[in-house]
């Protein structure tokens, strides 16, 4: 808070500025130097299993993009990390945390998919420890730079120095043996074209990445909803212990799988019905959501995004050709 | 319903000053508003009017396809509806002439940076009624090449159209139409010259235009529009004729159930 008048926090100052004329044209860049330190609070779920819960929020300059869960597992071979967070700085803090929790070096870092809140910490880890599927790597290659632009815009200074980094190890379908953990990579699809879930065959922990959301609305910018629902059915068939979703609380049982399916069915049905009545994007966005979604964080925000994601596909696929040939 | 802002301002100016007709302050406080007003809103006084509504999404992920709705249905006697974006490199987005249609349009646009988006509805008395909102977005929509430019056979799809018409309870016809076209702005990194559909005209069996759209480069690739036409009850189709700036003509015919 250096340089601000006494009693004036940065947020209060910004709020005051927002009330002044032309605030949106000067943007808020000048007064926004972030404290540049995340508060990573690991929660222990079981022996040698921790996760850092992401904020149940949209990416912002307040949360620095730390909205997704990251996971640290202890093993005889070293620390195992799942997902690296939204920025170089987050990745650096997560690497330190993983070493401190396990008292070991980092043996493996899994990247579940190519979305920016899960992979922009990659830079903080040795490339050969970073592992994922070819689909995830292709996604980072093609979209990494556009994601960086979007993240610098949304999260601001938290992103300083962050660049996309491709994982150096390509995973097959065989499990990786870490001594007291055997991690099976599950190559799936639906949330994106390439989603990696991880299953510890020894402890039964299932790390679902963004195939599963809990008490936070799922995101659909690269989703194939029909495939996603099939994948959720397959995940539901795995006899697992703890389930760690990409966003939302980790817990035993399959509540996250059921809720993600229910959300996808709810919004897909609502959006298609409105589309078939001839409503446009703004009209469909304005429709009410069912009452059960009120307890889901970001329900309206993600619904609005999903309307935009689905509409283009529906227009291309559901309307008859009408040009005179 | 609020009265137009101008009349309130005139009242505040007090007797003797109203004749000077100082323009009302721009509620969006845009640095380029005075030039927007003089360039695009000529031929009549300009007032800010809440009856002209613009909706934009609260989050923009795709700067090349930003859904916009302009709705001036609460304002009687609209003869022209002009959409402008102050801070876009090409500010004029489109103009709707709703001869026999509602003063309503939804479409998608490319946005080069966060900008006010305005709808200006000119009524029969010549007055421009302006509404708008600020669209927050990261940049680059106008300078990114069209997706079609990445496809070898893009030209085979130009002019393909899809759409539907829904008869509304009040007898009007709600048209949603998508026409395949790259809508090149001429500003893209790949140096493709401007190539865009510049007009779309919708008519019924009488051939008189029900609605005419004048489009400009910032309208998104594969323009997708929603309009509400006062189509005669016995008409069985909406006919659309489009033209691009290279002289390409695109005709479509959308079947519609006659009103029972």
3-state secondary structure of B18: helix
Look up the domain containing B77 and give its range. Answer: 36-255
Q: What are phi and psi of A277, to 5 degrees?
A: -85, -5
Chain A closest-CA separation from residue B161 CA (Å): 5
What pLDDT sits at residue A183? Answer: 98
pLDDT tens digits in sequence order for chain A, 325 residues long: 333 444 444 444 444 444 344 444 544 444 455 568 999 999 999 999 999 999 999 999 999 999 999 999 999 999 999 999 999 999 999 999 999 999 999 999 999 999 999 999 999 999 999 999 999 999 999 999 989 988 998 899 999 999 999 999 999 999 999 999 999 999 999 999 999 999 999 999 999 999 999 999 999 999 999 999 999 999 999 999 999 999 999 999 999 999 999 999 999 999 999 999 999 999 999 999 999 999 999 999 999 999 999 999 999 999 999 999 8
A contacts of B138 (beta carbons < 8 Å) = 149-150, 153-154
Nearest-angstrom CA–CA distance, B36 and B34? 5
A64 and A184 fall within a common domain = yes
Domain count, chain A: 2
Partners of B105 in the β-ladder: B70
Element (H, E) at A246: strand A242-247
As a three-state string, the secondary structure of A30-63 is HHCCCCCCCCCCEEEEECCEEEECCCCCCCCCCC
Residue A279 maps to a domain: no
State the pairing for strand pair A169-170/A130-132: parallel
A90 and A191 fall within a common domain = yes
C-alpha radius of gyration, chain A, whole number:
21
Q: Which of these three, A224, A254, A284, is where a domain ends?
A: A254
Cβ <8 Å between A22 and B29: yes
Residues of A with CB under 8 A from a CB of B: 21-22, 24-25, 58, 149-150, 153-154, 221, 277-278, 280-283, 285, 301, 304-305, 308, 311-312, 315-316, 319-324
A13 and A129 fall within a common domain = no
Q: Does B178 touch chain A (CB under 8 A)?
A: yes
Element (H, E) at A245: strand A242-247
Supply the CATH number for residue A85's domain: 3.60.15.10
Cβ <8 Å between B58 and A304: yes
Q: Which residue of B has its CA nearest to A25?
A: B30
A227 and A115 fall within a common domain = yes
Look up the domain containing A80 and give its range. Answer: 37-254
Cβ <8 Å between A323 and B176: no
Residue A269 maps to a domain: no
What pLDDT sits at residue B154? Answer: 85
Position with higher pLDDT, B211 vs B148: B211
Chain B closest-CA separation from residue A118 CA (Å): 17
Domain count, chain B: 1
Least confident segment among A106-120, A297-311, B114-128, B129-143: B129-143
State the pairing for strand pair A169-170/A49-52: unpaired
Residue B154 maps to a domain: yes
Residue A5 maps to a domain: yes
Q: Does B166 touch chain A (CB under 8 A)?
A: yes
Confidence class for position B140, pLDDT limits 50, 70, 90: confident
A contacts of B67 (beta carbons < 8 Å) = 280-282, 308, 311
Residue B8 maps to a domain: no
Cβ <8 Å between A24 and B134: yes
What pLDDT sits at residue B143? Answer: 78
A184 and A247 fall within a common domain = yes
A contacts of B136 (beta carbons < 8 Å) = 24
Surface-to-core class of residue B178, CB atoms within 10 Å of its CB (0-12 exposed, 13-18 middle, 19+ buried): buried
Residue A317 maps to a domain: no
Those residues whose C-beta lies under 8 Å from the C-beta of residue A234, and which sit 6 or more positions away, are A188
**What is the DSSP secondary structure assignment for residue A142, as one 8-state letter?**
H
Confidence class for position B260, pLDDT limits 50, 70, 90: low
The angle at the Cα of B198, spanning B195 to B200, to the nearest 5 degrees, equals 135
The complex scores an ipTM of 0.88
Q: Does B162 touch chain A (CB under 8 A)?
A: yes
Cβ <8 Å between B61 and A150: yes
A contacts of B250 (beta carbons < 8 Å) = 323
What DSSP line would sit under A153-215, residue for residue? HHHGGGGTT------SEE--SSPEE-SS-EEEEEEE-SSSSSEEEEEETTT--EEEEEEEESS
Element (H, E) at B225: strand B224-229
Position with higher pLDDT, B20 vs A278: A278
A171 and A126 fall within a common domain = yes
Helix residue ranges, H only, B25-160: 33-40, 154-157
Residue B80 maps to a domain: yes
A121 and A9 fall within a common domain = no
Residue B172 maps to a domain: yes
A contacts of B249 (beta carbons < 8 Å) = none
What pLDDT sits at residue B21? Answer: 52
What pLDDT sits at residue B14? Answer: 38
What pLDDT sits at residue A42? Answer: 98
A contacts of B179 (beta carbons < 8 Å) = 323
Cβ <8 Å between B226 and A324: no
A22 and A97 fall within a common domain = no
Cβ <8 Å between B162 and A316: yes
Chain B closest-CA separation from residue A166 CA (Å): 23
C-alpha radius of gyration, chain B, whole number:
19
**Core vs surface per residue A63-96: b (16+ CB within 10 A) or e:** bbbbbbbbbbbbbebbbbbbbbbbbbbbbbbbbe
In the predicted model, what is the mean pLDDT of chain B? 89
What pLDDT sits at residue A2? Answer: 37
B contacts of A17 (beta carbons < 8 Å) = none
Cβ <8 Å between A323 and B166: no
Q: Does B251 touch chain A (CB under 8 A)?
A: yes
Number of CB atoms found within 10 A of residue B214's CB: 16
Cβ <8 Å between B163 and A322: yes
Q: Does B191 touch chain A (CB under 8 A)?
A: no
Q: Does B177 touch chain A (CB under 8 A)?
A: yes
Chain B closest-CA separation from residue A282 CA (Å): 7
- To the nearest 10 degrees (0 to 180), the angle between helices A299-318 and A255-276 is 50
Supply the CATH number for residue B160's domain: 2.60.40.2470
Q: Which residue of B has its CA nearest to A316?
A: B162
Residue B26 maps to a domain: no
Cβ <8 Å between B166 and A324: no
Residue A316 maps to a domain: no
Cβ atoms of A189 and A224 within 8 Å: the answer is yes
Residue B7 maps to a domain: no
A105 and A157 fall within a common domain = yes
Residue A7 maps to a domain: yes
A179 φ/ψ sector (left φ>0, alpha ψ -120 to 50, else beta): left
% helix, strand, coil for chain A, step of 5 = 40, 20, 40
A23 and A74 fall within a common domain = no
Chain B closest-CA separation from residue A61 CA (Å): 14
Residue A23 maps to a domain: yes
Nearest-angstrom CA–CA distance, A256 and A276? 30
Cβ atoms of A235 and A206 within 8 Å: the answer is yes
A235 and A152 fall within a common domain = yes
3-state secondary structure of B74: coil
Residue B48 maps to a domain: yes
Express each pLDDT in B48-101 by its tens digit: 999 999 999 998 988 999 999 999 999 999 999 999 999 999 999 999 999 999
A18 and A53 fall within a common domain = no
Sign of CA dihedral B27, B30, B34, B38: negative
Least confident segment among B25-29, B75-79, B91-95, B151-155: B151-155
Q: Nearest CB to B162: which of A281, A311, A320?
A: A320
Residue B211 maps to a domain: yes
Nearest-angstrom CA–CA distance, A267 and A286? 13
């Amino acid at each position: 808070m250096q340089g601000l008048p006494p009693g004036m926090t940065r947020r209060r100052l910004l709020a005051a500025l927002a009330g002044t004329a032309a605030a949106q044209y000067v943007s808020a860049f000048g007064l926004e130097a972030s404290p540049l330190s995340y508060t990573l609070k690991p929660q222990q779920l079981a022996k040698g299993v921790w996760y850092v819960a992401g904020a149940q929020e949209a990416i912002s300059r307040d949360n620095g993009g730390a909205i997704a869960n990251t996971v640290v597992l202890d093993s005889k071979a070293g620390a195992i990390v799942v997902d690296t967070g939204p920025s170089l700085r987050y990745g650096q803090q997560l690497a330190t945390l993983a070493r401190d929790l396990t008292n070991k070096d980092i043996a493996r870092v899994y990247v579940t998919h190519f979305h920016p809140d899960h992979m922009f910490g990659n830079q903080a880890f040795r490339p050969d420890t970073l592992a994922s599927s070819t689909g995830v790597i292709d996604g980072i290659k093609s979209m990494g730079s556009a994601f960086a632009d979007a993240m610098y815009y949304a999260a601001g200074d938290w992103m300083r120095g962050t660049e996309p980094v491709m994982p150096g190890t390509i995973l097959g379908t065989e499990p990786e043996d870490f001594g007291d953990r055997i991690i099976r990579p599950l190559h799936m699809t639906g949330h994106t074209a390439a989603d990696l879930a991880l299953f510890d065959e020894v402890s039964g922990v299932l790390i679902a990445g963004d195939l599963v959301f809990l008490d936070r609305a799922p995101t659909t910018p690269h989703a194939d909803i029909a495939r996603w629902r099939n994948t959720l059915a397959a995940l539901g068939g795995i006899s697992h212990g703890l389930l760690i979703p990409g966003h939302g609380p980790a817990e035993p049982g399959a509540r996250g799988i059921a809720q993600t399916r229910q959300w996808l069915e709810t919004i897909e049905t609502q959006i298609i019905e409105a589309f078939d009545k001839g409503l446009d994007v703004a009209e469909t966005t304005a429709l009410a959501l069912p009452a059960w979604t009120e307890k889901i964080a970001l329900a309206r925000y993600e619904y609005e995004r999903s309307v935009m994601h689905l509409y283009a596909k529906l227009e291309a696929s559901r309307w008859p050709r009408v040009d005179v040939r | 319903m609020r009265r137009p802002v101008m009349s309130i301002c005139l009242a505040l100016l007090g007797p003797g000053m109203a004749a000077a007709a100082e323009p009302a302050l721009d509620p969006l406080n845009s640095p380029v508003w005075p030039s927007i007003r003089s360039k695009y809103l000529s031929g009549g006084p300009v007032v800010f009017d809440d009856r002209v509504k613009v909706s934009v999404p609260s989050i923009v992920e795709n700067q090349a396809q930003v859904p916009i709705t302009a709705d001036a249905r609460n304002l009687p006697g609209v003869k022209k509806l002009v959409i402008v974006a102050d801070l876009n490199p090409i500010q004029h987005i489109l103009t709707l002439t709703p001869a026999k249609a509602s003063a309503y349009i939804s479409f998608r646009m490319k946005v080069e940076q966060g900008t006010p988006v305005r709808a200006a509805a000119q009524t029969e008395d010549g007055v421009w009624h302006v509404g708008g909102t600020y669209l927050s977005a990261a940049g680059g929509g106008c300078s990114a090449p069209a997706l079609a430019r990445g496809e070898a056979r893009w030209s085979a799809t130009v002019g393909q159209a899809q759409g539907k018409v829904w008869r509304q309870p009040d007898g009007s016809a709600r048209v949603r139409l998508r026409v395949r076209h790259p809508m090149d702005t001429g500003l893209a990194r790949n140096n493709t010259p401007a190539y865009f559909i510049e007009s779309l005209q919708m008519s019924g069996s009488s051939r008189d235009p029900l609605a005419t759209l004048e489009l400009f480069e910032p309208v998104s690739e594969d323009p997708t529009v929603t309009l509400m036409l006062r189509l005669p009850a016995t008409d069985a189709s909406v006919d659309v004729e489009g033209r691009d700036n290279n002289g390409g003509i695109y005709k479509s015919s959308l079947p519609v159930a006659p009103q029972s």
